[in-house]
Structure 1
């Protein structure tokens, strides 16, 4: 593993899922069931976008976290929707996964907004459902604000809403380290005093411990093994650290300074927002905290948002209470039972 990938494994604030054992762990594309790893490309502003789809009906487009993570963590997460006439679409936005990774501009959530619109047009549908996890909530919400006529519903899964949310995320992570890992925090302070930035490996190495990831991500760490139904080892699906740095900044575990910083939503921004929105958060989520979810909910016009908490769940909303997760999503989408065939 090179230094860049080592840094990613060490970073707490990143919404990159921790690698875990699963039935498909270690599989190459040709060993995975379709459509995983066997998708299609479409032209985009900077080159090409990669996507995979399964099922038939209204597209539910999954928006990746990170920033910089690919679609693979979602594989199989929304399978329960397929009997209800929904098509699940996994896609890599510009800079991520198998889409064009190098561009002449600075990576920004605004690029992802246009990528979503490019994908919608290619799918040849009037409306899509957007389902976003973690950082992915930011470009998803921006798309829904810019193109409300194209969004049937918005699902925010332990998702950030804007740059302020991301800074709240950073502050929550710092509180976690300082309060529950005081020895590691002291070591960080000494490194910090030397001018080392939080995006550098020297900063990350002293404090990282699997138990810290367990505290921040999971209600029950044993549920980590349920996160990934399948896992790709294809290098094309790797995380892109440059996307992360452009969007979050060079000191992202202390202060958000990248292109994300100036993306802010408030009641005024959302006063005319009318896209039905589900905010589904883990109660035991140290990354996208219940406070962050409630802040976004309170900004939405009355009757537009629905706020739900999974009481025994951390950051990965579909992994720890899958039955309750499915029940809430299905009810929000307006289906109580699969359609008769």
Structure 2
């Protein structure tokens, strides 16, 4: 682990996997320690992954002011990491809730971003929300799964706001393309890796106050952008992911077959080859 200071003095850490050109990878959750990213399905064979723990998660210090957990207030933590690494421009990857953080960073520091890879990523910063109807649409694709009957009602309660902790546990298979032993082990670590207090603040009022302004900013973004969505994921659905990609002048969308919200767990080889190919200039990855 390497340490660096955020602008407010909070000590943050990052770990590295692999060698070669750096790829800065922001974890989602929201506010889940970067350990869940692993080496992103073997992507470390192609790039040196720089994996920070956001403030208050993993090995990073809890900030003095909990309000700084808000997504927009963490943008300068990303900039501090870029400066710490001594990079003029960065290749930036973000998963899930960190999509908003990466988008806000690109809007504020457009000349610092060489490429942006958004993996099953949120885009509330752009005014794009994933609706309960979209979640139900994705869930219906899993009707043939042996676990569907016991998990479906619990999954729906998540999106109508009435879910219990037991419902979240029961609905977990919906977030993976294949409910394998690897997926079960990955899911089992979530609670211990997540700062729930920080997660409650991350998308709180004011975090995404100017989606129209952010859209204008990214409309001039010079970076190439890949939006990678899982075929079976409801956040985002593939067509919603395509819409997000269309908001960037150099946006591309790839839909990973049979994948859910953690595509590097579902099919590591496809995921790593696709992202590496994009970074090398071939959006197909092959």
Deviations for 1:118-157, whole angstroms, at most 9, x for unmatched residues? 1111111212211110011111111122212222211111
- Equivalent residue number for residue 264 of structure 1: 211
Query: Looking at CA atoms only, which structure, 1 or 2, has the larger radius of gyration?
Result: 1
SS at 2:200 equivalent: helix
SS at 2:241 equivalent: helix
The structural deviation recorded for 1:288 is: 2.6
- Equivalent residue number for residue 122 of structure 1: 84
Point out where structure 1 has 5 or more consecutive residues left out of the alignment: 1-38, 193-197, 250-257, 337-341
- Do the aligned residues in 1 keep the contact of 2:31 with 2:202 (CA within 8 Å)? no
The structural deviation recorded for 1:76 is: 2.0
Say if 1:184 and 1:118 are closer, same or farther in 2 by CA, change over 3 A.
closer
Partner residue of 2:236 out of 281, 288, 301: 288
* Partner Cα separation in structure 2 for residue 276 and residue 159 of structure 1: 16
1:69 aligns with 2:12: no
- Do the aligned residues in 2 keep the contact of 1:72 with 1:232 (CA within 8 Å)? no
1:59 aligns with 2:7: no
TM-score (norm 2): 0.80
TM-score (norm 1): 0.68
Map 1:290-309 onto structure 2 (within 5 A).
Answer: 290-301=238-249, 304-309=250-255
Name the structure where helix makes up a greater proportion of residues: 2
SS at 2:211 equivalent: coil
- The count of residues paired between Structure 1 and Structure 2 equals 271
- Equivalent residue number for residue 333 of structure 1: 279
Deviations for 1:166-223, whole angstroms, at most 9, x for unmatched residues? 741555447778998786599899xx9xxxxx4xxxx4328606452212x1222126
- Do the aligned residues in 2 keep the contact of 1:282 with 1:313 (CA within 8 Å)? yes
The structural deviation recorded for 1:71 is: 0.3
* Partner Cα separation in structure 2 for residue 59 and residue 227 of structure 1: 28
Say if 1:175 and 1:279 are closer, same or farther in 2 by CA, change over 3 A.
closer
Point out where structure 2 has 5 or more consecutive residues left out of the alignment: 144-148
SS at 1:62 equivalent: strand
RMSD: 3.5
